[in-house]
Every structure is written in C-alpha cells, then in structure tokens.
Amino acid sequence: MNHETNQTTKQSANAITLMIIDESGSMMNLKKATEESHLGILQKIKSECTEMPNLNQYVNTWVFDSHRIEEIQTLAKIHADDTLKPIDLRPNGSTPLFDAIGKACSQLEIIMSNLKFQPEDTMVNVAVFTDGEENSSKIFTQGEVKRLVTRLKTQGWSFNYYGTDTSVEEMKERLAFDGGMVMEKSNSGFRTGMAQFSMSSSKMKTDWLKDWMKEDFTE
C-alpha cells in the first residue's frame, strides 16, 4: 500500500474506508485477533480492486487510548498488487472514544478537501471497533461528535459502531451512527464482527458503484 493519491475522473469513483480501533488496556487479550482481522479487511479491499476496477480504494486507520490517538495508516490508495502488512496495536490506558472519532473524521475531511475529492464521486465508510465505553475524552463531547457525524452523513459518509460492553443500539443513537453490531468480548467475537463489517462494506460499495454508474448498467 503506497501513499499515492488520485483525484476522481469521469471514469472512476472513490471509496474510502476509515477504521477507528480501540487499543485501551482491556484490548490486550484481543490484540492478535484485531490485528489479523484488520489485515483481513485490507485483503478484501485489495481483492475488490480487481472486482471493481472503476472504484479507487483508499484506507485510513486510527487507534486510540488515553495515551495516544494516532493515525497509524495515513490515507493511502490500495492496489491489487500491494503487499499488505498488519498493524501493531499497543493496548494501554483508557477509552477516549469521542476524541478518537472526532479527531479522525475531522482530519480525514480536511485531507479530502485538500485532495479535491468530490462528494458526489466519493463514498466514505467509517467503522469503530471497541470493547468498552467512553471514559476519558477531553476535546470532543458526545453532542459535538453527533453533530459532526450528522453533517458528514449529508456528504455521503456512513458510520458503523461495533462494540461489546456498551449498548450498541444506544451508542448508535447517541452518535447518529447507521449500522454496526454487538460483538462478544472474545477473539472469535472480534473476528466475527470485523469480518461482518468487511462483507457489508463490500456490498455497500458494489451497490453504490452500480448507482454511480447506472447509465452503464441494464436491468
């Protein structure tokens, strides 16, 4: 995966996958499963480059705990021949969930504007993976995150919340998220949840691309 960017042309559209992954201390036992599942999502996106050649695929990954909220994979285009590497989680500290969502989404919006991604030609799919509740944000409040999410949804962004200890439906409502699921707090639970996101994201891209290219598709 390299850091080449590509502005939209009339022949292609863009799909951006933003993953925001909890690495608080309670994620220690889930570290390997989460790293491997994240790589599995990247591998699926890589295969989609061949399946959907008219769709430029980009990935951006953030991790968060009370010691760091960090972009560990900057926005980068994925190609069908890329060599993919796993991320390295460093579980520690508590869970600044609101700050992580607010910071990651705000920065991606700025980068997209600078690179001149056009909303009508770009879909953004955001996924949060966490095993706990918000407990240490200092910058963004719940209300501020909800307003940010609500505004970005008008630009074609979608938001998914995958959680364990928290009430997923409650958090989706509190943050104006669209989808997601409750995961078991186990290696198999995280593998299942992240695989489910990968599958649903792939279908969303296929449907969105067909609509974007509807003049080229027949019933």
Q: What is the pLDDT of residues 172-205, one digit of tens each?
A: 999 999 999 999 999 999 999 999 999 999 999 9
Q: What percentage of the chain exceeds 70 in pLDDT?
A: 93
Distance CA 164, CA 132 (A): 6
| pLDDT value for 166 | 67
**133-136: long-range contacts (C-beta < 8 A, 24 or more apart)?**
133/95, 133/97, 133/165, 133/166, 134/95, 134/96, 134/97, 134/98, 135/94, 135/95, 135/96, 135/97, 136/66, 136/93, 136/94, 136/95, 136/96, 136/99
Convert the pLDDT of each residue in 116-136 to its tens digit. Answer: 999 999 999 999 999 998 999
H or E segment to which residue 175 belongs: helix 168-175
Pick the CATH number of 13-211 from 3.40.50.410, 3.40.50.2300, 3.30.70.3040, 3.30.9.10: 3.40.50.410
